[in-house]
């Protein structure tokens, strides 16, 4: 991945939570008590490693060099039934839409969806019980105390799935990046060749009455992406979380309906649930069309999916497109 790339959507970190402190083994002794009972306190628990959602973050870039995360151990217990101090927790802030997997098992251990949500990724070891816990009528002076539990260690995979409201879907060079640059403040790289967008680009669309929604230009997918050709799975997974999918099909396409069906099939191969999302078709670069060509394209398009003819170059129908997207995003469930 290029060092200049500011969109980091996958990292590995080594986590080591803190060990629990040992329980104390102590008998009360002071000038008034020569042979008092057990008063060993419990050990403190080891520090947790915690993931916390932060709505201000959009990528995992800030964790790029954050390779080893080691939490403090808990302190041991002491006399007078004093409990040891807990190890300090380490909090890792991540964007919304982040999941964490155990590298060895592949199991998803955490999914962060809301701002401020906290999930313990690696639990600190419990502190051991001091000997005061083990006194019984028959053993009033126990010399036994528990050691603290070990912390947990292992490699974790942290992965971000973009939480945008609208995902732009289309073949490379369909005009997605240009549209994003015109209707949001995002500045994606734009060029007239396939695969200009190698990572998702996010932008906020300002709507009426100070409202806004988030739109993501997802990398162009090609036939066979679901099998891992082209840019493959790594990017298709970003589409899973978008509420509305906006299919961008250029007006100069040879067969608009076929292009739509190929894109739809890619999504279905990757995850059939994607077909349950709200679809909208936008015919891009339509400033070049006359009425006759426009009518011909309309006949090709599926009847049950809303469509709109747009041009990023001339701003044609962009306000209407925002209205259409806002309406789709705010449909009552």
pLDDT digit string (tens) for 85-143? 999 999 999 988 889 999 999 899 998 888 899 999 999 999 999 988 888 887 877 88
Q: Which residues contact 34 (CB under 8 A, 6 or more apart)?
A: none
Q: Which of 181, 236, 184, 186 is nearest to 9 (CA)?
A: 236
Mean pLDDT over 252-262 rounds to: 89
- The pLDDT assigned to 119 comes to 95
Q: Are 240 and 111 in contact (CB under 8 A)?
A: no
Domains of the chain by range and CATH?
Answer: 1-160 (2.70.210.12), 166-329 (3.40.50.300)
pLDDT confidence bin for 161, thresholds 50/70/90: confident
Q: Which two tokens stand for residue 127?
A: 């502190």
pLDDT digit string (tens) for 47-77? 999 999 988 787 788 888 888 999 999 999 9
The answer on pLDDT for 333 being more than 60 is no
pLDDT digit string (tens) for 302-321? 888 999 999 988 888 998 99
Where do we find the tokens 């936008």? 282
Can you give the pTM of this predicted structure? 0.57
Q: Which residues contact 148 (CB under 8 A, 6 or more apart)?
A: 19, 20, 21, 22, 23, 43, 45, 46, 73, 74, 76, 125, 126, 127, 128
pLDDT confidence bin for 163, thresholds 50/70/90: low
pLDDT digit string (tens) for 26-45? 888 777 766 778 888 999 99
Mean pLDDT over 174-186 rounds to: 76
What average pLDDT does the chain have? 81
24 or 272, greater pLDDT: 24
Please state at what angle helix 256-270 crosses helix 291-300, rounded to 10 degrees: 40
């Amino acid at each position: 991945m290029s060092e200049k790339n500011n969109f980091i959507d996958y990292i590995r970190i080594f986590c080591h939570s803190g060990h629990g402190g040992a329980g104390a083994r102590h008998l009360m002794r002071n000038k008034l008590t020569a042979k008092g009972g057990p008063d060993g306190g419990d050990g403190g628990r080891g520090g947790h490693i915690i993931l916390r959602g932060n709505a201000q973050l959009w990528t995992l870039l800030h964790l790029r060099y954050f390779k080893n995360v080691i939490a403090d151990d808990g302190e041991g217990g002491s006399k007078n039934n004093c409990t040891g101090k807990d190890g300090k927790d380490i909090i890792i802030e991540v964007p919304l839409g982040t999941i964490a997997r155990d590298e060895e098992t592949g199991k998803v251990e955490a999914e962060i969806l809301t701002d401020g949500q906290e999930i313990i990724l690696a639990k600190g070891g419990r502190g051991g019980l001091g000997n005061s816990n083990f006194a019984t009528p028959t053993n009033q002076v126990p010399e036994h105390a528990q050691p603290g539990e070990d912390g947990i260690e292992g490699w974790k995979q942290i992965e971000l799935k973009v939480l945008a409201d609208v995902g732009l879907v289309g073949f490379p060079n369909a005009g997605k990046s240009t549209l994003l640059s015109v209707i949001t403040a995002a500045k994606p790289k734009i060029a007239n060749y396939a695969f200009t967008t190698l990572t998702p680009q996010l932008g906020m669309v300002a709507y009426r009455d100070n409202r806004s929604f988030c739109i993501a230009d997802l990398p162009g997918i090609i036939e066979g992406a679901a099998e891992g050709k082209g840019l493959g799975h790594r990017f298709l997974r970003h589409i899973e979380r978008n509420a509305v999918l906006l299919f961008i099909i250029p007006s100069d396409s040879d067969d608009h309906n076929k292009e739509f069906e190929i894109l739809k099939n890619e999504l279905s191969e990757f995850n059939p649930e994607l077909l349950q999302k709200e679809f909208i078709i936008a015919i891009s670069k339509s400033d070049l069309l006359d009425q006759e060509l426009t009518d011909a394209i309309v006949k090709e398009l599926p009847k049950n999916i809303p469509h709109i003819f747009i041009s990023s170059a001339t701003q044609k129908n962009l306000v209407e497109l925002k209205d259409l997207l806002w309406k789709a995003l705010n449909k009552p469930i």
